[in-house]
């Protein structure tokens, strides 16, 4: 009985924490001034990799005139000094925002929390390791400017420039995952998992409010929802490099991701799009 009560209390506490995290997103969206671009960066124990990524973003936009942007770092329960690193940027600049502390709910939850907080004309999410440089946003932005609703970076599309390749076993894992994704969801996309995706304001608000998967397979769900909602998706070959320190476990996370893509059609069954 004691174990049951403890488990129930833990479950309730986690539900409250999740609700509070998404409440922060709503408050940020309501209180923020509309901008041209919101950049969402999920972070879990990224103290070593996120600083150069943030610096590269400011260096890039410093040469661009009239680009009003914000950065939302969605901290996923980091146990290192990630928060301190980001807070230093928040003090230096007025457009870097850090989500409140919370437990680790998964990368997908972090993306949803950040994307629901944005009220910009366009929204981009990118990985904290900077594997896709911010300059590649120009390619995605061009697609959005040409009536696409969603523009995704691709490492598999012809024309992609892979500066540093992933280890072979990760490449094989990715190809296998993509094979099953295509056949289960019907998505005709070469690379669903590249962490560099941009959305119009309308697409972001309608897609991420429906997102339910919190793990690494969230990309597939996001693209599945985009297709169901009738949004035009552009898959753009980009420059990309592998950066050591991936949080994806080839064994445990791969199994969870496979189960999640099986869940996608079921959890959205009967929804009106």
Domain ranges of the chain: 1-129, 131-273
pLDDT at 252: 73
pLDDT at 239: 98
pLDDT at 10: 64
Cα–Cα dist 258/139, whole Å: 30
- For residues 70 and 114, is the Cβ–Cβ distance under 8 A? no
- For the chain, the 3-state helix, strand and coil shares in percent, each to the nearest 5, are 50, 15, 35
pLDDT at 86: 98
- For residues 118 and 30, is the Cβ–Cβ distance under 8 A? no
Q: How far is CA 48 from the centre of its chain?
A: 19
Q: Which stretches in the chain have pLDDT values below 70?
A: 1-10, 66, 250-251
The CATH number of the structural domain formed by 131-273 is 3.90.550.10
Cα–Cα dist 126/71, whole Å: 11
205 closest CA partner among 109, 96, 117? 117
The CATH number of the structural domain formed by 1-129 is 3.90.550.10
Counting residues of the chain whose pLDDT is more than 90, the rounded percentage is 76
Q: Do the domains 131-273 and 1-129 match in fold?
A: yes
């Amino acid at each position: 009985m004691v174990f049951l009560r403890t488990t129930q209390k833990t479950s309730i506490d986690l539900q409250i924490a999740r609700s509070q995290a998404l409440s922060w997103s709503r408050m940020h969206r309501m209180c923020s001034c509309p901008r041209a671009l919101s950049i969402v960066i999920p972070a879990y124990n990224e103290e070593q990799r996120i600083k150069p990524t943030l610096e590269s973003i400011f260096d890039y936009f410093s040469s661009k005139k009239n680009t009003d942007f914000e950065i939302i770092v969605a901290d996923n329960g980091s146990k290192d000094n990630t928060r301190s690193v980001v807070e230093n940027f928040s003090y230096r600049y007025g457009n870097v925002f850090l989500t409140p502390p919370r437990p680790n709910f998964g990368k997908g939850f972090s993306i949803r929390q950040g994307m629901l907080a944005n009220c910009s004309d366009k929204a981009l999410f990118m990985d904290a390791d900077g594997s896709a440089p911010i300059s590649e946003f120009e390619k995605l932005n061009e697609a959005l400017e040409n009536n696409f609703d969603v523009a995704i970076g691709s490492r598999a599309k012809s024309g992609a420039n892979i500066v540093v390749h992933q280890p072979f076993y990760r490449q094989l894992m990715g190809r296998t995952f993509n094979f099953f994704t295509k056949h289960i969801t019907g998505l005709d996309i070469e690379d669903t998992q590249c962490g560099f995706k941009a959305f119009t304001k309308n697409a972001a608000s309608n897609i991420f409010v429906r997102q339910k998967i919190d793990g690494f397979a969230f990309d597939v769900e996001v693209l599945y929802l985009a297709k169901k909602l009738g949004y035009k998706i552009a898959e753009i070959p980009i420059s990309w490099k592998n950066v050591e320190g991936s949080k994806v476990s080839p064994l445990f996370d791969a199994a969870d991701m496979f189960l999640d893509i099986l869940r996608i059609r079921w959890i959205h069954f009967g929804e009106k799009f």
